[in-house]
Structures are given as structure tokens and as C-alpha cells.
Amino acid sequence: MVRLVCVNSGANHKGGLLIIPMIKILSAVLAGCLYFGWNHDFAHHSRAPLVPPPNIIVILTDDQGYADVGFHGSTDIRTPNIDRIARNGVVCTEGYVSFAVCGPSRAGLLTGRYQDRFGFSRNPLVAPNDPGQGLPTSEQTLADLLKKADYSTAVMGKWHLGAHPSQHPNRRGFDEFYGFLGGGHQYFPENLKLKDLSEIKSEYDSYRTKLMHNTKRVDENEYLTDALSREALRFIREKQNKPFCLYLAYNAPHAPLQASEKYLSRFPDITDPRRRTYAAMVSAVDDGVGNILDLLDELKLDRNTIVFFLSDNGGPTPDNASDNTPLRGKKGDFFEGGIRVPFAVQWPGKIPAGSRYSNPVISLDIFATAAAVAKVKPKNRLDGVNLIPFLTGQNKGIPHDYLFWRNVDQKSLAVRTRNEKLIAQPDAEFLYRLKDAIGETTNLARQDLKTLERLKTSANDWNRQLPPPAFLGLMQEKEYNQSHPERFKIVEDF
């Protein structure tokens, strides 16, 4: 214990010592601390370090079947690295996308809104001189959003949101783009013979164009899936010191079915050649996912990075030998096999590892989650929700009372609640209790008229809010070509 005294020759002091009042002692101590700089060190060490917002990685596959991941029980196609995401975090067993084919599904994911709200109701065509054939500029993309929080942003792979220069990823918030603009692509570099869109004569000619790095065409010498993984790794290394958002949009295992021997050799026991090639394509994606997870660990970024993994729609089982078991249906329809997809999320230290979440969630929630963790206010009203409180157990409720789907050309609607699902088509109605029968085998439409009418009313009320499609799509290509004879003419340079 230190006793502070001072000599005072004042008239009121006897014996030469005066005990300083406590308030003066504290003032003296503080002054001394400030003088010697101790207070600076104290303030420095007591102030909590600023934690940057988490990095966000969205890994999207194309046409992958619900059953074609290890975390859903696949035995013939091994996905050890994709399964790491599940082990590190949570499997959303009832994870959905907002449409049953590629383009509209991606538009919903990247805006956090039902794509029908802005007329993106069809697969867009490759039309480099048509600014209306794609994502309208009124919509804020995930990259636009996160740029407001000073994120670095990149998309690697399939775009499919418009081929006009105004729709280019670099003009939609992405700092970097490596990939292709259309709905599909050849995988082997020797097949990429066309230098740009000015040389194409049909939709599927675009599959043979050279890849783009930002706005420039480049020569690639690797198998496409490997090239996209390589570019993703490069971006993470380059941007590791500030928050980043990576949208890694693989086109595998979308047709054409093409795989290198490196991956084919892993599946000698699969006798169906289509299934074997499909498995090899999934395995190439799995390698890329593993390399990304390894790099996050190496750079000590894993605990401050949210990684989403999902497919853009269900598997087109007759076309690419995918497997949607135990779901009914396939890509293109509103049975579960068309819209329910492999869906896993990791955020080590935040989301409990090895957990499973069984309430319905949707790809629209990715945007809302990003907005919440980055603390950025979205420009438009969102249809998704922040998933983190639900996945951590902080919120015991359900993320969505209703999920909706619309297919204008088929004149069909679908609506999902926690337990029930309705599909309303012009010639049939299907009502299921999915918690009881995931395979949609028992149609209750004639047995439960009260639930049928309640869900139909909800779906019709939602549908009345929506505009008609903003453009003719892939299924109307012949009609579009007749009204746009110069469809492939380049009218503006990138």
C-alpha cells in the first residue's frame, strides 16, 4: 500500500504532514499515468479489436441431383469435400431454390427477391444487342449490396443473367468476372473456337466461345471446372486482407456431359457411361471445393467466412443421369425434385458443426443473410430472411410461413408451408403433407378441401402482385428470332 504525503508550511498544518484527500490522490495518480504514457497503453489493450464482417462464398452447382452428395447418402458418387461443409456447419434438409431452371433461379439468388417480381420468369436467351433480355438494372445484386460495405466481389463461372454489355457482371457490382455469359459451355479448351459472340449463329454456338476475364476474351488451357476453381483460389489469395464475396457458379454437372480422365478414372465401378461421366463432373467440383476450404484454413480465414453450397435446381434425371431420390420430379417442374436441392452452410464458431435444419429455407435467404452480417440496408424489399439466427438456434420460429413458385408458360403455381405443399396446374391439383411423405406419393387434394382452398388463395394472392414476363425466353426462341433478326449483332463494345 502506498501512502502519499506532502510537506505543507501552511498555518493550518501541525507537524509538517498532510494526508491528501482521496479525490486528490486519484487525480495525482491519473496525472502520473498520463505523464508516463501508461494510460495510452491501457486504452490500447482494453479496447476490443474491430472484427471485420465475414467473407461470403456462394458455391453453386448446375443441375445437380438432390441425392448426389454424400451428406444426402450418395454411395456411388463420393463428395468428401462438399461433405466437409456439412460437417463444419449445417445441412438444410429442406433447402429450396426459387425456380426449377437455371436463369430465373440465379436471378432470385443474386437479388434476394422472387424473380417474378421483376419479370425474370424465363431462361434468357443470348442476345448481345438486347438490354431487356436479362436482369433489369432496377435490381440490386448481391455484389452491388456488398460493395456498399467495401467488399471485394467476384463471380467465376456461369452468368446467364444477360449478354448485353449493360448486363455484364462488371456493370452489376462484380469487380472481377471469369467465365461465360450464356446458359452453358463446353468444358474442354480445344472446343472453344469462337472468339466472341459476334461469331455465333445460334444459342448453342455460345457454348463454344472463348472464356472472358472481365471484358476481354482469353485463351484457356484447362478443363473448365478446374479453371474456375483456379481463378476462385487466386481471387481469395489476392483479397485475403479485406472482406470479399465470391460467387463461384460452376456449370458442372450441366450438359454437355464431358469429363477428363483424371476424374473418370475415379469411378470404374459405375457401368452406365452417362452416370460415370456425371459422377466425374461432380468429383471435379468436389476437388475445387476442397481446395477452397484448405485455402481458407491456410490463411486462417475459415472462422470469418460463411460458405454456402447448393445447386441451382434439381437434377434433370433423364438428361444427365442425376439422382433426385427420394424426391419426385426433376428439373423444370414443381415437384420436389425440381426445386429442392442439396443445401449446406458453414460458419465455424457461429453455426453448430454437424447440425441439420429441417424447416424450409430458400436460396433467396442468402442475400438477406449477407445484408445482415455486412450490416448493409438493401435497396429493394427482400423476400429472403437472415438465416443465421435460425441456424444457430437463437430463433426457434420458422423462417417462412409461405414459399411460392410460378411458371407462367405452364400456367402453374406452387406454395409450400411448414408441413403442406400445393401444386396447382390447369388440369390438376396436388396437395401433399411433406413432413409425412417426402416423395409426394399421396395426393390429398380431394380429401382436404379446406387446406387446398387456403393454399390456393395464398398462391393466387401472391401471383396477383406479379408483372408478366419481361422477355421471351429459351422456350420462345423461334418467336424471338423472328422479331429480332439481328439478334447476334454486336451493337456496343464491352
Q: Which of 341, 342, 345, 340 is nearest to 308 (CA)?
A: 345
The residue with cell 482494453 is 46
Q: Are 384 and 140 in contact (CB under 8 A)?
A: no
Q: Which of 457, 404, 449, 411 is nearest to 431 (CA)?
A: 449
Per 3-state DSSP, the chain is made up of helix, strand and coil in percentages (nearest 5) of 35, 15, 50
Catalytic residue among 72, 102, 168, 185: 102
Catalytic residue among 160, 168, 254, 400: 160
Can you tell me the distance from the alpha carbon of 135 to that of 99, in angstroms, rounded to the nearest whole number?
A: 15
Backbone angles phi, psi at 198, to 5 degrees: -65, -15
Q: Are 316 and 100 in contact (CB under 8 A)?
A: no
* 45 included as an active-site residue: no
What are the grid coordinates assigned to 270, written together? 459405375
Backbone angles phi, psi at 359, to 5 degrees: -85, 150
Q: Are 106 and 373 in contact (CB under 8 A)?
A: no
Helix (H, G, I), strand (E, B) or coil at 402: coil
* 160 included as an active-site residue: yes
Can you tell me the distance from the alpha carbon of 280 to that of 88, in angstroms, rounded to the nearest whole number?
A: 24
Residue 214: other Cβ atoms inside 10 A: 14
- Show which residues are catalytic: 102, 160
